[in-house]
Chains A and B, each alone.
Chain A
Amino acid sequence: MFNLAKKDRTLLLIVAGMVLLAPFLLQPFAQGSGMAQFNAGYPDLMQRFVIFGILAIGFNILFGLTGYLSFGHAAFLGVGSYSAVWMFKLLSMNVIPAILLAIVVSGLFALLIGYISLRRSGIYFSILTLAFAQMSFNIAYSVLTPLTNGETGLQLALDDVRILDGMNTNGTLPSTNLLPPSLVNGFEMRDTYHLEIGSWLFQFNTGYYLSAIIMLISFYIALRIFRSPFGLMLRAVKTNQTRLNYTGINTRPYTLAAFVISGMYAGLAGGLLASMDPLAGAERMQWTASGEIVLMTILGGAGTLIGPVIGAGFIKYFENIFSKINDTVLHGWFGWLPDGMEDAVVWFVHIFVGKGWHLTLGGLFMLVVIFLPGGLVEGGQRIMNLFKRKKSDGAGTDKQHHPKSTPHVAE
């Protein structure tokens, strides 16, 4: 099936299962219970999980395979978002043309930046991509405001043209859709079906499932790239580009192709973000956003297929869930403790949640990289190995999924 090796097929099926059942898996705690705070099964966050997953998968095609560390990938995300929102403003609220345009525009942008930046390697390449992205951000925030709406971000307005849908006249903004609501109901990105079982509430959102399916397709394509001769060539670039050049192979077309593909993935993610919520903010292109993509990939496990997706989910979870825990919630949790102790515990935990969520995230970055050099994926593998070792030894680690980290070669 899918023209994949058995192992990859299993991986794809597992990912597909988890993604499609996410509304259940991410909602393990009953509404109203103290732990409900940790539920992540609401549409916006689920959408972010898969969309940033796409972004990280794409980034990994470049970084994981070729070793080229781009520090400006957020620029493609931003360009994709802007293209998509302009499509909504000018053409139609249908997401398909918007997403297609996002991919095309970011692909062209990546071609331009990649063509220039790939003339250098190592840190010089990283700084070139960083410089391009920061220029895009700064200009989008200020001079290009007519095009980007600067500080606020590009959003829909009542007087948008929308050639296909026609100007809307009823004083409300339309919402993005897959099929126009005049034809079929239920295909607007924000349509959500609620299912209540006991005190559990599950939300099934159209936008999420669209993103999820696109994410699975992207994952499949990445899988094929990883296993293809092209992928092998990219790995060769990572291992020893000079030697490859000596054999008469021009590596530039390969790295450029990887760069553009990865840029298109970012543009796709940007277009999807805008389709779920039609706003494109300039901050999407800032270096911190690029840095976040790098962190997602390394945190999950660079060079592994599933790692970046896990890393993306991890960071987005902290950003959205931990930042919302406030003192009232904490008092709710620890209310059963004796008074003095309750205050002490709340005071202590308070440092790490709410406005302290950055601290927790930073600390976890350090812990993961210190104890799990291969990222979160390695953590998963170690746990798996614990179980496997009991059955049989060897055959544990998956060399394909986790290429040995290259030693540092500064000198």
Chain B
Amino acid sequence: MDIILLQLLNGLDKGSAYALIALGLTLIFGTLGVVNFAHGAIFMIGAFTAVTFSKILSFSFVTLDPTQKNFLGEPLEVKTAYIVHWFGESTGNGLIDWAVPLAILFSIPVMLFVGYAMERGLIKHFYHRPHADQILVTFGLAIVLQEIIKYFFGANPIQTPAPDMFRGSFDFGVLIGYAENAIIYPYWRLVYFVFAGLVIGGVFAFLRYTTFGMVVRAGMADRETVGLLGINIDKRFTIMFGIAAAVAGVAGVMYTPINSPNYHMGMDFLVLSFVVVVVGGMGSLPGAVLAGFLLGILESFASMNQVKVYFPGIDQIIIYLVAIIILLARPRGLMGRAGVMEE
């Protein structure tokens, strides 16, 4: 039982990552009807805003230390971050330590702008083009974006740790009467889970309780009619694109301590996020979130030894297997609307 609870926790955490990415993707799918193959790249750029931000924080000057030698036997170059120099050891290092959470503040405006620029500069010209063209152009964009990141940051993963106070794990098992170490969970992942919940809740509340959200929802259901009512739906959709990018971006920022960012992480998540969105059903935000959590949890269960003994390699295929079963049982995924992307 304890192992099942443990994997349920893992699954919820994986699922919250999937749900966040799928949420952004479905906003674009559902509102704009654009197949956005660059969504993974947006997630990746989000993660790299965290890397950039921590680099900015630890921007340093160099002093030569003659008592130490570098690999060529010359005096060692010692780097001191400016903020450590300015604010003193504890404040400065504290700020650098908190780079990832602080990067959210940096990433939201950046990602809003990235989304806005993408939509105005490129995507808007493709609303009335076939999906195939949308795939080609966004795929091209994704490649270009990731190559730019690779040019500046290299191909290897870059460590962006969580603040020191979130190191280590929390022993759930002891709380509910299991043995020590039976159900442990890292603090940072709890943070991620709560954060994902807040973002998802925020997006739903925004669409549900604001006039803006109401109009967008109306536009998702019937764009033409809303347009005929004299509402400038295009402008709102641009903003929605920006919001979708920001959601993917902050998901990327918070994910960096879990998965050291590298330039191809967007492509790694791309297929998965499409599967999640489609399993959830096209055009359904709750569907995307539900599918994200469902697939995350099932993936975690599939990775258990107790399961793998009977089905070797099941964790390799579980997501796809579940996707096939769901799509065969429910023609439009879990909560899809009729007529969306069925042509």
User: Touch between A and B in complex, CB under 8 Å?
Assistant: yes
Residues of A within 8 A of B (CB): 63, 67, 69, 116, 119-124, 127-128, 130-132, 134-135, 138-139, 141-143, 287-288, 291, 294-295, 298-299, 302, 351, 356, 358-359, 361-366, 368-370, 373, 405-411
**A135-B320 contact given A130-B275, A143-B312, A405-B129, CB 8 Å threshold:** yes
Contact between chains at B140 and A362 (CB < 8 Å): yes
**Min C-beta distance of A252 to chain B, whole Å:** 15
Interface residues of B in 139-164 (CB under 8 A from A): 139-144, 146-148, 151
Q: Does B190 interact with chain A (Cβ within 8 Å)?
A: no
Chain B residue contacts of A351, Cβ below 8 A: 151
A130 contact from B139, B271, B321, Cβ within 8 A: B271
Contact between chains at A128 and B147 (CB < 8 Å): no
- Chain B, interface residues (CB within 8 Å), range: 35 or more
Chain A residue contacts of B144, Cβ below 8 A: 359, 362-363, 366
**Min C-beta distance of B316 to chain A, whole Å:** 4
B147 contact from A132, A302, A358, A370, Cβ within 8 A: A358
Chain B residue contacts of A135, Cβ below 8 A: 316-317, 320-321
**Min C-beta distance of B131 to chain A, whole Å:** 7
Alpha-carbon distance A411/B320, docked complex (angstroms): 27
Q: Does B323 interact with chain A (Cβ within 8 Å)?
A: yes
Alpha-carbon distance A402/B341, docked complex (angstroms): 23
Q: Does B282 interact with chain A (Cβ within 8 Å)?
A: yes
Contact between chains at B140 and A369 (CB < 8 Å): yes
Chain A residue contacts of B320, Cβ below 8 A: 130-132, 134-135, 138
Interface residues as binary, B103-124 with A (CB distance below 8 Å gives 1, 0 otherwise): 0000000000000000000100
Q: Does B327 interact with chain A (Cβ within 8 Å)?
A: yes
Chain A residue contacts of B130, Cβ below 8 A: 405-408
**A411-B222 contact given A131-B320, A358-B143, CB 8 Å threshold:** yes
A408 contact from B129, B279, B327, B339, Cβ within 8 A: B129
**Min C-beta distance of A59 to chain B, whole Å:** 12
Q: Does B278 interact with chain A (Cβ within 8 Å)?
A: yes
Contact between chains at A134 and B140 (CB < 8 Å): no
Contact between chains at B331 and A120 (CB < 8 Å): yes
Contact between chains at B132 and A298 (CB < 8 Å): yes
Alpha-carbon distance A408/B32, docked complex (angstroms): 11
Chain B residue contacts of A291, Cβ below 8 A: 139
Contact between chains at B271 and A287 (CB < 8 Å): yes
Contact between chains at B143 and A361 (CB < 8 Å): yes
A364 contact from B140, B312, B339, B341, Cβ within 8 A: B140
**A298-B339 contact given A124-B331, A143-B313, A410-B33, CB 8 Å threshold:** no
Determine the residue in chain A with the shortest Cβ distance to B320: A131
Contact between chains at B317 and A298 (CB < 8 Å): no
**Min C-beta distance of A263 to chain B, whole Å:** 17
